[in-house]
Structure 1
Amino acid sequence: MRWSRRRPSSGRSCVADLVTLRSDALTASIHPLGAELWSLRDAEGRELMTDADPAFWAGHAPLLFPIVGALAGDEYRLGERHFAMPRHGFARRSEFALVEADASSALFRLEASEASRAIYPFDFRLDMAFALTGATLAMTATVSNRGDTPMPFSFGYHPAFAWPLPYGGAAEDHRIVFDCDEPAPIRRLDPATGLVAPEPQPGPVEGKVYAPTYADFEADALIWDELQSRSLIYGLPGQTRLRIDFPDAPMLGIWQKPGARFLCIEPWAGIADPLGFTGDFADKPGVMTLAPDAQQRLRMDVTLLES
Structure 2
Amino acid sequence: MRALTAVLFLLTVAACGLRPASSFVPPVEPGSIRPVPSLQGTTVRVTSKEFTEQLVLGKIAVLALTAAGADVADQTNVQGSVNARASLTRADADLMWEYTGTGWITYLGQADPVPGAERQFEAVRDLDLRRNGIVWLPPAPLNNSYSIGVTRATAGRWGLTKISDMTRIPVDQRTYCVDHETFGRDDGFLGMLRGYGLEYGKDVPRGNVRRVSVGVLYDSVARGQCAMGMVTTTDGRVKALDLVLLEDDRRFFPQYNAAVTLRRELADAHPEIARIFAPISARLTDDVMRDLNAKVDVDGDVPVLVARDWLRSQGFVK
TM-score category by the smaller chain? Answer: under 0.3
Task: Give the TM-score of the pair, scaled to structure 1.
Answer: 0.24
Task: Give the TM-score of the pair, scaled to structure 2.
Answer: 0.23
Q: Greater strand percent: which structure?
A: 1
Structure with the greater alpha carbon radius of gyration: 2
